[in-house]
Amino acid sequence: MRKQDFQRIEDYVWEIPASFRDDMQVPARLYASDRLLEAALGDESVDQLVNTATLPGLVKYSLAMPDIHQGYGFPIGGVIASRTGDGVISPGGVGYDINCGVRVLSSGIEAEDIVPFLSELASTLYRNCPSGVGKGGNVKLNDKQFKSLLHEGSSWALKAGYALPEDVRRTEEQGCLKAADAGKVSSRALSRGIGQVGTLGAGNHFIEVDIVDEVFDANAADAMGLVRGRVAVQVHTGSRGFGHQVCTDYVRQFQEAVRRYGISLPDRQLICAPFHSEEGQSYYGAMCAAANYAFVNRQVLTHHIRRSFEQVLSGKLDDWHLRLVYDIAHNMAKVEKHNVDGKTVEVVVHRKGATRAFGPGYEGLPPEYKDIGQPVLVPGSMGTSSWVLTGTEDSMNQTFGSSCHGAGRVMSRKKAKSTIRGDQLRAELEESGISVQAGSLPGLAEEAPRAYKDVDEVVKVVTGAGIAKKVARLIPLAVIKG
Amino acid sequence: MFWEEISHTADLSLHVWGEDLRALFENAARGVLDLMGGKPDEHLPMIEKSYDLCAPDWETLLVDWLTELLYLAEDEGVLVSTVTVTEVGDLCLRASVSGWPGGRYDKLIKAVTYHDLAIVPTERGYEVVIVFDV
């Protein structure tokens, strides 16, 4: 793939026409600056974007956000919308970590007041929030309770004492996809998931204590409780082994389905089935259960984080409480209605490493966000900034109400491990004032800031293209990784 | 070694080869366990497990086989020390593994993907490149 294969549609929008390859059903669009486009051409990500344009029932175009990078099947940063009537749902297009997502918590704590307690806070968070490979949590559930959790999502967490009513209101879909069907989940997935509720996992998942470094939209920041100079917290994790197993099961089952439905694919990982088929509906029910699991997982971790703040800061600071700003998914398939050529069409929007970015007035938003639009949470990499944005009306028109989900990798894990030493990286981060707790130093090296693109450039593209608006920038004070 | 990690931006990719399909499947298992690293708790008694798997094609059989090992590692917490594939033929595999329960791996591998997965005959026997979600 070469830069010449693209047509520049707008300053930050590039298109590969549907005529580029015989099997493309729609054009493929990439949101990028010149620099990010060059970076995307460095691996297979653009080929993967073109592959997604071959799926049945697509409307308008297949898309990729500026944090695009090579994945498997779909690129990370990919978005497609397939009609529910004659289109498909793709387990490969959602990925293994179903409803991997991010939440941001705000506080009234001045950053300078927390500095003396930062190291103790980081180690308390590490101790209280189970993390690492395969690590189990401390929420003990029987089968009946676990199935209630899968069907009810965040409402279950509220009833169980892990959430505040405001937390539920400020979670995408109020933390519950109603189509969840635990009966479509394998016994193996149930077995993997029951013991991992409230755990961080490993890899690129993290808890981060931040300072609100800059506010760009005072009105939106005020609605979210984000004040310059005060502490915020980010949580990034997903549906753990439960989601991995749901995806594994259905990717396997769908291998037969594509033959039966006569669907031709350029890559077997793009596996899919008609949305209204028995297979498609079974996967959708199981995927929604995994999504609810992930909402609860982040909520229970929030409970552990609040407990940690209280343990360390109670009696030392007047107000250590944390309020949820918002919780969003970035690996999900959602049934939504979008305007296509002047008509409202029901589609399954797959966002793989991309978030919703709905504009002001969207009815699913909590009342306090109705006028500003949905918060869009864009974590950076350790040591760099993260961003809080809002969705726009333009994102509804351009990108099926979608935006970027992070910085996007640019260096392979192999190269990161061979060129960066985990202990040195930790020392560098500590020297720059960032407290680090990590279960694995090689794992820390793989997630080094220089393995990622410049998140500020990614944000420049989505705001420049009009699909999101800047609200606030966060800078890390402490990082906790499995 | 009969495997090597190759560059992949977001995930992990493993190039594996073997003189025949039996060796390829055995080496692929050893390769994925090598990627996961880990330290056993040798105070506990070892456990053994046998597998008889069949699939509609060789690539699916490979995904199924490695998926079984990931499940054993994460859900049952077994740190696998020995893998023996005894028989491969007619799109079926027979294998046994042994290891210590209660071990902890260094690296999480979420899943084995089908991305561009193709077992190909070469001068070395058979080769494959497998992409894992991490």
Q: Does B115 touch chain A (CB under 8 A)?
A: yes
A133 and B108 within 8 Å at the Cβ level: the answer is: yes
In a domain, A348, yes or no: yes
Residue A415 lies in a domain: no
Chain A interface includes B56 (CB < 8 A): yes
Partner A contacted by B95 (CB < 8 A):
no
Give the minimum alpha-carbon distance from A219 to chain B in angstroms, rounded to a whole number.
Answer: 36
Looking at residue A51, its pLDDT comes to 97
- A84 domain residue, yes or no: yes
- Which residues 89-108 on chain A approach chain B with CB closer than 8 angstroms? 92, 95-97
Task: Note if the pTM is more than 0.80.
Answer: yes
SS (H, E, C) chain A: CCHHHCEEEECCEEEECHHHCCCCCCCEEEECCHHHHHHHCCCCHHHHHHHHCCCCCECCCEEEEEEEEEEECEEEEEEEEEECCCCEECHHHHCCCCCCEEEEEEEEEEHHHHHHHHHHHHHHHHHHCCCCCCCCCCCCCCHHHHHHHHHHCHHHHHHCCCCCHHHHHCEHHHHCCCCCCHHHCCHHHHHHHCCCCCCCCCCCCEEEEEEEEEECCHHHHHHHCCCCCEEEEEEEECCHHHHHHHHHHHHHHHHHHHHHCCCCCCCHHHCCEECCCHHHHHHHHHHHHHHHHHHHHHHHHHHHHHHHHHHHHECCECCCCEEEEEEEECEEEEEEEEEECCEEEEEEEEEECEEECCCCCCCCCCHHHCCCCCEEEECCCCCCCEEEEEECHHHHHHCCCEEECCCCECCCHHHHHHHCCHHHHHHHHHHCCCEEEECCHHHHHHCCHHHECCHHHHHHHHHHCCCEEEEEEEEEEEEEEC
Domain count, chain A: 1
Which pLDDT score is estimated for A412? 87
Q: Which domain holds residue A187?
A: 3-410+452-481
Q: A70 vs B77: CB contact, 8 Å cut-off?
A: no
Separation between Cα atoms, residue A61 and residue A52, nearest integer Å: 10
A201 touches B: beta carbon within 8 Å: yes
Q: Which of B5, B111, B134 sits opposite A203 (nearest CB)?
A: B134
User: Could you tell me the two tokens for A474?
Assistant: 């966060």
CB contact under 8 A, B107 and A76: no
A316 in B contact zone (CB under 8 Å): no
Q: Does B106 touch chain A (CB under 8 A)?
A: yes
Q: Does A49 touch chain B (CB under 8 A)?
A: no
Q: How sure is the predictor about B76, in pLDDT bands with cuts at 50, 70 and 90?
A: confident
Share of chain B above pLDDT 90, in %: 75
Query: Does residue A52 fall inside a structural domain?
Result: yes
- Residue B127, chain A, CB below 8 Å: the answer is no
CB contact under 8 A, A73 and B115: yes
Catalytic: A405? yes
Instruction: Give the per-residue pLDDT at A136.
Output: 83
Residues of A in contact with B105 (CB under 8 A): 133-134
| Domain residue limits, chain B | 3-133
- The answer to whether position A297 is within a domain reads yes
pLDDT of A365 reads 95
Domain-located, residue A107: yes
Is residue B40 scored above 80 in pLDDT?
Answer: no
Report residues of chain A scoring pLDDT below 50: none
Greater pLDDT, B11 or A19: A19
Across the interface, whether the CB atoms of B8 and A244 are under 8 A apart is answered no
Which pLDDT score, from 0 to 100, does residue B104 have? 78
Does B56 sit within 8 Å of A43, measured CB to CB?
no
Q: Is 80 exceeded by the pLDDT of residue B42? A: no
Instruction: Give the other-Cβ count within 10 Å of B81's Cβ.
Output: 15
In this prediction, residue B77 has a pLDDT band, given cuts at 50, 70 and 90, of confident
Q: Which residues of B touch A201 (CB under 8 A)?
A: 108
Q: What superfamily in CATH does domain B3-133 come from?
A: Archease domain (3.55.10.10)
CA distance B1 to chain A (A): 17
Q: Do A256 and B56 touch (CB under 8 A)?
A: yes
In a domain, A401, yes or no: yes
Tokens of A150: 């899968």
Please report, for the domain that includes residue A292, its CATH number. Answer: 3.90.1860.10
Average pLDDT of the segment spanning B61-72: 96
What per-residue confidence (pLDDT) applies to A207? Answer: 97
CA distance B22 to chain A (A): 22
